[in-house]
Amino acid sequence: MPVLETVVALYDQADAGDDVSQMQVNQRLGREDGDSNTSRAFEVLERGGYVQGTASIDPLPGALTVVPTEKALKLLAGWPADGEVALERLIAALQTQIDSTTDEEEKGKLRRVLDAVQGVGENVAAEVLTKVMMGG
C-alpha cells in the first residue's frame, strides 16, 4: 500500500504526461535506488490493475515507470467510489487497524468484523456498500 500511495501522490504532483518511476518512489519512501521491494510492488500492482506499466527492462520484475489506473485513483485519490472500491477501503482499513493495535481483545473483535465482511462475499458486500453510499 505505501508504494501505491506514493505512486498516486507523485502522479498528482507530476506534469501532464509524466510517469512515475521506481527511482522516484524509492526516494520518497527513503529506500535505496533499485530496491527490490519497490520493483516487486510495481509488478504486483500492475497485475492487480492498480498501475499501468509504461517502460520496463528485462530481467527486472515490474515496470520501471508506471501511471496509476482509474482503480487506484478511485481507491486513493478520492475519485467517485463504487461499492467494490468502498469494500477494498474497508478491508484495508480493518487490516491496518488490526496490525496497529496492541490490545488483543480489540484485535480479536476487528478480526471477527473482517472475517464477517469477507465471509459474505465480495459481490454482496460491495452491493450493500453501494446502497449505503447512495443513501438507500
pLDDT tens, residue by residue, 34-61: 888 998 999 999 999 999 988 777 666 7
Q: Which grid coordinates are listed for 98?
A: 488490526
pTM: 0.55
Confidence bin at 96 (pLDDT 50/70/90): confident
CB 74 within 8 A of CB 85: yes
Per-residue pLDDT band for 66 (boundaries 50, 70, 90) equals very high
Asked if 106 and 98 touch (Cβ cutoff 8 Å), the reply is no
Apex 82 CA angle, 81 and 86, nearest 5? 75
Q: Cα–Cα distance between 108 and 77 in angstroms, integer?
A: 30
Task: Determine what percent of the chain is predicted with pLDDT higher than 90.
Answer: 33
| Mean pLDDT of the residues in the chain | 83
